[in-house]
Structure 1
Amino acid sequence: MKALILAAGLGERMRPLTEHTPKALLAAGGKPLIVWHLERLAARGVRDVVINTSWLARQFPKALGDGTPWNLRIRYSHEGDTPLETGGGLWHALPLLGNEPFIALNGDVWTDFDLARLPAQPAGDAHLVLVDNPPHHPQGDFRLAVDGDVYDDGSQRLTFAGIGVYRASLFDDWRRIIGSAPGAEAEPPRFRLAPLLRAAMAEGQVTGEHHRGRWTDVGTPQRLAELDRSLAQPQG
């Protein structure tokens, strides 16, 4: 099974920390955020990892190389100076990921979620990990039904953790779904993943699970500092 780590963002909310360092290479608990992902992917049995890059892209191969320290094979999907957003980033990386289901992780989250729990063959086009709504996102994103299906409606919503398993078929009809959204006609195209997920949910093609353990969206310098402090404390 292959994996993609989304690390192309500009990190604007993390300034000034990201003026000279990509967000995914910022350190917490003594190592870059992306290294936590690499270690967990290796423990899951993944061997091939694609990292999408844009802002300060040259720093990634300098810091991570070809993945040998983690017994991984890393390849880079460079998006140019303008990030392609989540959907465009996944679509752009598909030639490196192949036709089998793949794991995708947001490079700016930290979690103790065990990636071994993810299905190698999701029932539909996508399988998402959801978490309790954090204070900065109280409205949540999606509803997880008792049978494991995920929907875009309902009041009891959870937050998408930025962890999922996807099939390439999720992108089969992306041009119709995205329509004339800004960036869709660019080359390469730039678009968000959420509209594709919502369209797949309407067709009953998205499953999910609720992770009740630790998870942090490292979106601000304050949250990065809080995570760093928590990782420095012994865990019971």
Structure 2
Amino acid sequence: MVQVPEIPRGIPPRRPGDRGRRISDRHVRRARGKRERYPRHGDDAPSPRRGLRTRLISRALPQLSRGARVDGDRYAVRHTVTATLPSALVLAAGLGTRLRPLTFCRAKAAVPVAGTPLIRRHLARLAAQGVRDIVVNLHHRPDTIAALVGDGATLGCRVRYSWEPVLLGSAGGPRHALTLLDNQFFLVNGDTLCDVDLAALLGAHLARRARVTLVVTSNPDPQRYGGIISDANGWVTGFTRAGDARDAAHFVGVQIVDASVFEPLPDGVPTASIGGLYDTLLAKPEQVAAHNVDGRFHDIGTPADYLDTTRAVDAAEGQPSVSFGLRSVAHPSAQLERSVLWDDVTIEAGCVVTDSIITDGVRLVEGTTLNRQAVVLAPASLEEATALPGAIRIGELLAVPI
């Protein structure tokens, strides 16, 4: 492993004298042993027990950057762990372009939802269902994720990282991380939340002898979301784009896949799954299956989606309608409604903040009024930031309509 300046502390570099073949530039080395194989049908899946090279594990919590801090036991969770399931890859490398300006501050998976960072929600849910080994891929603002997660010990799992110097996409990312994953593994999008029974998903995948099984639900908005078309037996026959009039289910961002699907891809080459690799699989019958669920689904694609999701989770978990991050304070005379305050936020006297998102380190001066605004510290790349529709520079702050 070659040391990369952007990699956060806690993702150890390859040391001189390490043995083993390096798969690709700036990537983890191949584990020499065979991956544990789960049965294709019938027998119960055994617990994977593979030898792990300790230098591939983030042992120390990385240096914390502003807006991605863990104070004491703030994010600690209690776990009731069931039988061990296959490993998982959480896709968290994306730029989060649609979520700007929020992703000028943090990676998309690091944003707080009802007081808990999204990435920690994903990992806690995976661990609670028995997923012990988890890989998180990183590219944009990797420090904001690694600082919240570390080696995963506080979440009841072991977390390792797959660094992508170049974004590799929804299929290229898994290909790059294969050496850290089992022969079957869960693949989870880092920007959605959905309740999925992973043991049931694994069972359905093995029983069908599918190569990919996608978790789907009814499409909440076909004009906005593409969909998945399947036959009467649940085999996927095609994919639709947003606005397609055909009856198609909605992919919720959780799947289980066979590693062999990605192995033929060249490592380090950006590749898509839906709209690329998976479309190729459909040339043969019974390769990709659909697994229907009725669980709650939340998207965090845009600032408006993020605000809606935070409100829904706040309500479901009995949280107040205004979320306060770590060390955030508001003057008693300030009026706050249905808003989210990240870490180190200060709201001075007489401010009125409604349906807004105030991100890390922002100070609203006395008498500021905001309605449906996302406010961030102005990023270094002002040209890119001010190009956002309706963006206004206010001193050291940037405000963008939601």
The two structures share one fold, judged by TM-score above 0.5: yes
Aligned pairs (5 A) from 1:97-136: 97-98=181-182, 100-119=183-202, 122=206, 123-135=209-221
Q: 1:188 aligns with which of 268, 274, 279?
A: 268
Letter in 2 for 1:7: A
Instruction: Mark the runs of 5 or more structure 2 residues left unpaired by the alignment.
Output: 1-85, 241-245, 319-402
Q: 2:283 aligns with which of 172, 190, 202?
A: 202
Number of corresponding residues: 223
Cα drift, residue 106 of structure 1: 0.3
> What SS does structure 2 have at the residue aligned with 1:151?
strand
**What's the TM-score, normalizing by structure 2?**
0.52
Instruction: Mark the runs of 5 or more structure 1 residues left unpaired by the alignment.
Output: 176-186
- Of all paired residues, the percent bearing the same amino acid is 36
Superposition RMSD in Å: 2.1
Q: 2:158 aligns with which of 65, 69, 73?
A: 73
Larger radius of gyration: 2
Distance in 1 between the 2:290 and 2:261 partners?
15
Cα drift, residue 85 of structure 1: 1.0
Q: Is the 8 A contact 1:151 1:202 kept in 2?
A: no
* Closer/same/farther in 2, CA of residues 139 and 215 from structure 1, 3 Å limit: closer
> What SS does structure 1 have at the residue aligned with 2:142?
coil
Distance in 1 between the 2:129 and 2:185 partners?
12
Higher RCO (C-alpha 8 Å, min separation 6): 1
Distance in 2 between the 1:139 and 1:220 partners?
13
Distance in 2 between the 1:28 and 1:136 partners?
25
Q: 1:165 aligns with which of 256, 260, 279?
A: 256
Distance in 2 between the 1:138 and 1:21 partners?
25
Q: 1:224 aligns with which of 306, 309, 312?
A: 306
Q: Is the 8 A contact 2:87 2:131 kept in 1?
A: yes
Letter in 1 for 2:249: L
Q: Is the 8 A contact 2:184 2:259 kept in 1?
A: yes
> What SS does structure 2 have at the residue aligned with 1:213?
coil
Match of 2:141 in 1: 56
The runs of at least 4 aligned residues of structure 1 exceeding 4 Å deviation read 136-139
Q: Is the 8 A contact 1:139 1:157 kept in 2?
A: no
| Residues 13-68 of structure 1, C-alpha deviations (whole Å, 9 max, x = no match) | 11111102000010112211122211111122110000000001122221101000
**What's the TM-score, normalizing by structure 1?**
0.87
Cα drift, residue 137 of structure 1: 4.7
Q: 1:212 aligns with which of 291, 294, 298?
A: 294
Distance in 2 between the 1:35 and 1:235 partners?
16
Identify the structure with the greater helix proportion: 1
* Closer/same/farther in 2, CA of residues 60 and 234 from structure 1, 3 Å limit: closer
Match of 2:226 in 1: 140
